[in-house]
Chain A
């Protein structure tokens, strides 16, 4: 009779046997076959610190071999940065300066001459215009990146990467340049009086949004809170526009998701609103998760401030766990032109919070938090003055 140990050993040897015969094709090669005439890949987006590598002693043949670039669009935050990668045969030492005379980033590359690569490469045009490679004395070279506008030290990063033979990558100089935040000038005055505020109750009509374990729907709670915010803001003298006043789709019944979102941004953009506030209720598969979070998309120097003020207001009046403020590439806050936020008041998937969110009293507290946050925002933004 076959005992269990024997069965296990047969099974394992069978497994090993099968594994041995699986075709030996590497991941990288396989994927390369699918990209016949693709631009060479940029380096792995794992950021390493910009510590210079030692220059190889007598290597006189070290040179800049090739350069390539890619615009990286962060999946979560929706922000863009341009990554320029320069391949070198051996390690180099790189230092960088923002040229004081114009919008230029200058990289001094010590230990490599300009090799057989194009003198100038056109970049995306929005984040950076072009890069030029210039021969310097001895073993050194320079790369000059022309920018469309002045940037700050915090807007770019330069670092080196070691060669990676497993993935057929040479030594690399990497330059990351963030898409600059537009220097929009707003001259906000303190107070809510005469402010044009767009309130966007999330979801509605054919789209219920998230649904709680006891069947409370996101669209009902967001509308309830939005109506209370409207009443309070109007009492304070603000002009309030709602993207929807009832349980309807904003664009039209069963509109495509994007038409629906776009319709909400049009309300704000066409009415020259001062700020846009989108109200949502969160959900997650783990029912114990709860709390308030506020999201912003950094289009100006005011979006993060608006998020902080409203988050603080909501946490103060609602008392739920403070999950903080985060940048996010949400459609309605990305495509509205004025400072905008999307607040996730609580988690409808959390039974205790679902119950709270369905009550008049708690909706009133949440509305109060948003109004307090807006008031605080206008007073702080007024102190900041135009542009910053």
Chain B
């Protein structure tokens, strides 16, 4: 039966955590963000209603950019997620997972996965699977929004100044044959809807 089964799972989980907690070594359940759907742990919150008090010591706030329905702008959607050691990766996973907001449109092509993200000398190297190019439907409007959503989401972090977009471990010069993205790019403020 449905509720009984959930009850069992929850009890088992609870017991595991409790046991870990009783044991005074601070072993916590690991948070394998890479293998989980970020939607499950990150709740989008209304941008205007976020108050500092709603963001505690154990959570962090991040902004992820999605396109407006008219394909002209980006809008930042704010998320509160449990604090972890790889916030830039979490932000990219949220971007790849897409928005649930019916007023906004996800721009990362279907099937695209984040392969890796690293930061060196204030440049983030965001490496995606080849669906980023292969599943792209073309059009410079889509390309602009895609590039800007990746760059703007990552440059929300104070220590990331530029972003190099990569596919299958290699730098790429363009996504759908319009934009010149062969070098690290900085944030674009003008495309953000005011």
A binds B: yes
Please, what's the 1-or-0 string for A1-29, where 1 marks a CB less than 8 Å from any CB in chain B? 11010010011001001111111111110
Inter-chain contact B72/A348, CB cutoff 8 Å: no
B45 within 8 A of A: no
Please, what's the 1-or-0 string for B141-160, where 1 marks a CB less than 8 Å from any CB in chain A? 11010011001100101111
Query: A273–B88 Cα gap in the complex (Å)?
Result: 45
Query: Which residues of A sit under 8 angstroms from B72, Cβ to Cβ?
Result: 323
| Number of CB contacts from chain A to chain B under 8 A | 217
Looking across the interface, which residue of chain B has its beta carbon closest to that of A77? B188
B80 to chain A, nearest CB (A): 10
Looking across the interface, which residue of chain B has its beta carbon closest to that of A295? B140
Inter-chain contact A282/B160, CB cutoff 8 Å: no
B100 within 8 A of A: no
A260-B177 contact given A7-B3, A34-B118, CB 8 Å threshold:
yes
Tell me the chain B residues, 111-149 only, with Cβ under 8 Å from chain A. 118-122, 137-142, 144, 147-148
A39-B122 contact given A27-B60, A260-B177, CB 8 Å threshold:
yes
Question: Interface of B with A (CB < 8 Å)?
Answer: 3-4, 6-7, 10, 13-14, 17, 21, 26, 28-29, 31, 57-60, 69-72, 82-88, 105, 107, 118-122, 137-142, 144, 147-148, 151-152, 155, 157-163, 172-174, 176-191
A93 within 8 A of B: no
Query: A329–B187 Cα gap in the complex (Å)?
Result: 13
A352 within 8 A of B: no
Inter-chain contact B14/A328, CB cutoff 8 Å: no
Looking across the interface, which residue of chain B has its beta carbon closest to that of A348? B139
Query: A207–B87 Cα gap in the complex (Å)?
Result: 37
14 extra interface residue pairs, beta carbon distance < 8 Å, beyond A28-B157, A28-B158: A23-B85, A25-B84, A26-B83, A27-B60, A28-B159, A31-B160, A34-B120, A72-B186, A74-B187, A75-B147, A78-B180, A167-B158, A258-B173, A329-B179
A168 to chain B, nearest CB (A): 9
Inter-chain contact A22/B118, CB cutoff 8 Å: no
B189 contact from A35, A47, A330, Cβ within 8 A: A47
A209 within 8 A of B: yes
B122 contact from A24, A35, A202, A284, Cβ within 8 A: A35
Inter-chain contact A282/B105, CB cutoff 8 Å: no
Inter-chain contact B188/A74, CB cutoff 8 Å: yes
A17-B21 contact given A75-B163, A75-B188, A77-B188, CB 8 Å threshold:
yes
Please, what's the 1-or-0 string for A32-44, where 1 marks a CB less than 8 Å from any CB in chain B? 1011001101101
Stretch with Cβ within 8 A of B (4 or more), from A130-138, A141-149, A285-293: A285-293
A388 within 8 A of B: no
Query: Which residues of A sit under 8 angstroms from B141, Cβ to Cβ?
Result: 282-284, 289, 293, 344, 347
A289 contact from B59, B70, B159, B187, Cβ within 8 A: B70
B31 contact from A22, A35, A335, Cβ within 8 A: A22
Looking across the interface, which residue of chain A has its beta carbon closest to that of B174? A257
